[in-house]
Every structure is written in C-alpha cells, then in structure tokens.
Structure 1
Amino acid sequence: MNKRESKSQVIPNVDRAFNILELLCESPEGVRFIDIYEQLNLAKSSAFVLLENLEMKGYVEKTPDGRFRATLRLFQLGSKVLNNLDIRAIALPYMTALRDETVFPVHLAMLDGPDIVYLEKVESSGFIKFDTYVGKRAPVHLTAVGKAIAAFLNEDQLDDIIASRGLGGGTDKAVTTKTEFKTVLETVRELGYSIEDEEEVHGIRCIGAPIRNHTGKVAASISIIGLHRELPATRIPEFGKKVIETANRISSALGYKTLPAEAAFKA
C-alpha cells in the first residue's frame, strides 16, 4: 500500500478521535473544551460527540473544573500488548541480521530457574556446527548469554542461582568461586557485553549482551559463537559493539526506551 492509498482510507472521525487523545496525553492537567476544538480545528458539535464517546469508553474523563484529560485506559491496553509480545518472533529478524553481518551463529536465551535455556538459534553457513540448540539448558556461569543476564540480577537472585546450581563443570578456564564470578559480572556491566572464553568447551568463544523489556528489566540475552581463532581477542570490542547494538534494537522493539546518552546497558 502506498502513501496515497493509505491516506484515502483514513476515516475522519477515527482520525479526529486519536488527535484528541494525543492532545490530552500531552496535558496531564487536562484541556478545556474550547482549547480542544480550537487547537484541533474541529467543529464544536463534532468535538462534543467525540469526547462524549471517548468518555463513555473510559479513555477520557472530566476533571472537577470541567477540563478533559486522558485516563489510564490507554496505558492498560499498551501494557497488555507489551506483555503479549513474542520475544522469539521479535528477536529473530535482528538475530538474522547480526548473523549476516558477523557470519557467526546467533543465540537467544532466557533464564529459567538456575539455568539458561536457548530459545532460538540462527545458524551460519559455515562448515562447523556448534552443540547448541533450541531447548538446551546450560549453567549461567559457563555461557555468555548467562553472564549477560546474571550481571543484572540482584544479589539475592544471583546467590540463589549459585547455591542451587553451583559453579562446577566446564573447562579449566571456568570460574569456580562466587567472588570470581561476581568480579566477572562487574566487568560485564562496565563493558555492556559478556564473554565466554573457552570456559564451557575448549576452542570456543562467545560474546553476549542483555535484552531489556518495556519495564527496563533484563528479560533475555543474545550472543554470537565462533571458534577461538575466528573471534580473536583483538576483535572482541568490535564484535561486542555489534552484539550490544542488536540487543538494543531488540529491546527497543520490546518497548524499552533507551536514554540518549546510553552507549550500553547499565544497571
């Protein structure tokens, strides 16, 4: 549908009703009736009928001094939409774009109890395939996706995970103490991205970043995975930035509003 076709299908009263709602949303103290129809260039009768209908539907209310203001009905509807967003469906095109840009497989994961669970994976066209798959569970401390989420948990949540799952397993490069793990998570918060450097399997490196939902809470994470030689230490900041940017885009699509000065996610 082109712009001309979309404009021809605008229903005048629907358009006017939304214009009224947008005006009222910008004025929490309420707007006088005369200001509504004058600012929006509406006939008095049209403005009256539209306001009456919006009030009946619960989107508009009158203040004691006779002004009109928007209610929380719009917020309630928006919250339902945000809560019903399918993170896998939303994240997939961004994950695919990251795979195409970096040529590395991309993971999407969430915390489930004390474990990380892989929700989605976008494979690369490379010959080597990694032992990760949708539904796989893994320890938080041995994965980049796990660290990206753990770095933004509160102390009690983190201690519960460590107490429940422990810090065992992995290779000789894996963290083994709570103090060491918490130091790693501090670095994740500072950098905005996490690294898994041959800690679960020798020869494999991953870079992850957190995804926030509309409330600002870290709800998931993404990561890229590659052989150690394909992800050299000198290029980690470069790829880390790309992973953060993709996580930010997914977060934005989920309703999270980043501040202008944010270069990366901070606790």
Structure 2
Amino acid sequence: MRTVLVTGASDGIGAAAARRFAEAGDRVAVHYASNQVGGEETLRSLTGSGHVLVTGDISNPDQAQQIVSAAIAKLGSLDVLVCNAAAAPSALNRHVIGETSYTKWTAVFQHMVGVNLLGAANLAWAFAKHLIERSAPGAIVNIGSRGAFRGEPEYPAYAASKAGLHALGQSLAVALAPHSISVTSVAPGVVATARQLSKLDGVEGNALRAQSPFGRVGTPEEIASAVFWLASPEAAWSSGAVLDVNGASHLRT
C-alpha cells in the first residue's frame, strides 16, 4: 500500500487518478484549490478507507509547501505525487497575440505559469525533500499536454507552461534518480472532462473527435491508467519520459 497526493482532484483527470490509486489499495490525499464540493465528492467516491482531503493554492509558495505537509501529516508519509492541478484554457483566458491587451496578456501568463509550472516545481521540492529525508523511493507524475509540442495559438501561456513542466520533469528525473525517485509526465490530448463537455456537445465536437483516427476523445480513466503505471515501481526505468496519451491525434518526430 502506498500513500499518494493527487492535486486538482475535484474532478476530471485528477479525480480519476485518485480513484485508480484507491482501487489498487493505496491511500490518497485528495487536493482541491477552490472546488471543495468536488473534492469532497471525489473523497466519498474512493474505494477503501484512510483517504484524506487537503486544500490550498499551489501557485502560492507557502501554500504549496503546506499542501504537502498536510498530506504527510494526515497520511503519515507520501510515496507518490501526481501534479495534476492546472490553470486550463477557457473562453475567459483566451489570449491571442495581436488581439489581446498587454494587461490581459501578462496577467494570463503570470497565472498559468504560476500554477502549471511554478506550483508543480514547489510541490516537487517539498515532496522530494520528504522522500530524501526518509531515504525512501517514490515517484512524481506530471500532467502535461499535447499542446506543449504542437503549440496553442489561442493559449500560448498554457502551451509554454506545459512545455516547461515537461522540461522540469526531465531535469528532476536526472537529479532525483540517485535517490530512487522517478519523475515522468503524460501529455494528453482532448479529454472528456466536465470542462470539455460543452465543446464536445457543441459545434466543435465532431472536429475535436476527428483529431484522432479513433474518432473520439480520451477519457479521464485512460489518462489515470497511464499515470498509475508511470507511478509504479515497474516503470522506474521510464523516468524522464513524456508519454503521449492522445489517441494518435498528434505524433511527435
């Protein structure tokens, strides 16, 4: 049995990942930032017992440390960190260069980089410190994005922050390997989360599904399965990898 912190677990990929670990008998710290109702719903949905709820804004350096400390205090230790919490693209934060005001441009970049990259970096620091002090092996799995490779012209800050997250993971993979800590990332394409349902049910839906030769989008459970495997001891030799989980909708060369 392992102990696992999943950030941004109120819904979507984070909630699916929390459930996948719980189904395997692991104890999970379910993190939420503002969606307390969603976090509590995820907690109630978990198989087994001993799961806990933690909260905080990962973009705040002090709170990022406190999130890890709270998970450790409630679970007794941590073995796996899943960095899923993110500032995601939406109609409100669309920021096309040449169309967006400088004020909005800088604000969106600061927010997305603060959550998606700096927040993950600070969580990883606190988590790695805990493992190193315990002389214990462990795993970090980051939720990146296909957009880091193909670009996101309407959301460049999102793509840049996810590309930075992939690079951070590879740097930490090298630095933490001597401590038997693996670090990997997954790069999903479009996933059928609550955030995407309006698009999938609307006029964009067919075009989004057509991006994959499978003719559909991914599910949170499919991403969670990839995360679960990458966090396993059997996947330690994959440390440093960025795994595409996008239904062949974007192929890297």
Q: Same fold (TM over 0.5)?
A: no
Larger Rg: 1
- TM-score for both structures, normalised by structure 2: 0.29
Higher-RCO chain (CA-CA 8 Å, sequence separation at least 6) = 2
